[in-house]
Structure 1
Amino acid sequence: MSLSKSRLELLHRVAERNEQQALAALRAAEARQAEAASLQDELRRYLDDYQARPVGVPNPLLLDNQRQFLVKLDTALRAQATAVDTASQRVAVAREAWLATRRELRISLLLQEQGAAEDRRLADRRSQKETDEFALNRHLAHGAPQP
């Protein structure tokens, strides 16, 4: 059973809309990943800069504060690395979803093309049948013996 032309067009419009939504979701996930990676890079640079700072006169309280701050920066950097990993996983999921909708879109296009080809074949058959009937009627009208 073949789908009607209007149903194929509806299927294609839905597939296009789904593909566009999946692409938008992918782009949003990529933007969040880039933002998380940028923040991670910024934290890493800040940590590197802070560690490279020369220490003035050694003061036990100052050294303890610096150590605690470095621990907090390291914790923040590890948390941000986790956020980057999570964002990367979300990008991978969104990419797979987008690819699936792209396949659906290609299938809907293929179905439309097949439907159009079937319509052309049927039109060609009708045209050939009309031509054959016209030729037979013309032949019979000129007094040819009937088979």
Structure 2
Amino acid sequence: MSRSKDVINELLVEVFNHILSIEGQTLKERGVKLSMTEVHVLEAINNSTLKTMGDVARKLRITLGTLTTSIDVLVRKKYVIRNRAKDDKRKVLLHLTDQALEVLKIHEGFHDEMIESLMVDLNIEKDEALVKSLENISNYFKQKY
């Protein structure tokens, strides 16, 4: 790999790992007792249009089996309610409890604070090249994966 590729790879991995680590630590400090994976499953359910197991699994890019394991835990912890659809018993619908919505509020607050801080500290609003580069990276991953 060329030097540029090495640096880009290292920076992407480092930024990703820092965000996950800080996010997990901050949410724990704010009383969230779930793993980041569980929080992201709740977020995917919340952002899903149909709120079916299949829809959420596609959104997370995981198998139904993997999602089922996570949902089983979240149901047991009382963050998710799972029901069969009335019109098609094969469909499993997911509903978030008030407890889950509270976790998502805390999670969203963390992201708002992080972005706000980045914009102030790094002057991102004025750095159109950085914003465009981040958009390009995001679009690349959406299209590729």
What is the TM-score with the length of structure 1 in the denominator? 0.29
When you count strand as a share of all residues, which structure comes out higher? 2
When you count helix as a share of all residues, which structure comes out higher? 1
Relative contact order, higher structure (CA 8 A, sep 6+): 1
